[in-house]
Amino acid sequence: MPITLNDEAAQVAFGEMLGQALAGRGQVHLIGDLGAGKTTLARGILRAYGHDGAVKSPTYTLVEPYETASARIFHFDLYRLGDPEELEFMGARDMLGSDALCLIEWPSRGAGWLPVPDLEIHLQLVSDGRRVAGTAYSQQGRAALARMPASLSHKEDEC
C-alpha cells in the first residue's frame, strides 16, 4: 500500500529514513513522471549520509558522485541518455558494481543494460502531495524496507 507525502519536507524526511535504511549500499531506481520529486527524494537520501549541500538532477552530466564520511553515492539521471550502451562508455559498470549506493532516475532509459535493482521507488503526483510505493527485488532491498518505520513498511517487499 502506498503512502502519501504531503509536502517537500515530508518527502525529504522520507528520503532520509530510506537513506538510513539502505545503509549506504545498493541500487535504487527512482521512477516517476517529470516533477514527481525523484531528485527531492535523492536529496533526502543524501542528507542521511551528512550531505547538506545542493543536490541537482544530473540531467546533462548523467551522474553526480557524492563522497561522505560514511558512503559513496552515485546519483544518475538517465533522462537524456541516447542509448543504454553509453553507460558502458562512461564507466557506469564500475560505479554500479562498487560498494556504493546508486540512485538512478529514469532507469527505463537504461533498460537491457542496468541490472535488476535492489529497490524500486515509484513516485506519483497526487492532489495532496506525492504517493510513494516501493518494491524490493533482492535480500538487500527487503532488508532496507524492513528497517523502515513500521508505519511505512507493512509488507516484506513493498511499502
Q: Higher pLDDT residue, 47 or 151?
A: 47
Note the pTM of the prediction, 2 decimals: 0.91
Instruction: Assess contact for 124 and 32: CB atoms under 8 A.
Output: yes
Instruction: Give the number of other Cβ atoms within 10 Å of residue 48's Cβ.
Output: 22
pLDDT digits (tens, 9 = 90+) for 3-46: 889 999 999 999 999 999 999 999 999 999 999 999 999 999 99
pLDDT digits (tens, 9 = 90+) for 118-147: 999 999 999 989 999 999 999 999 999 998
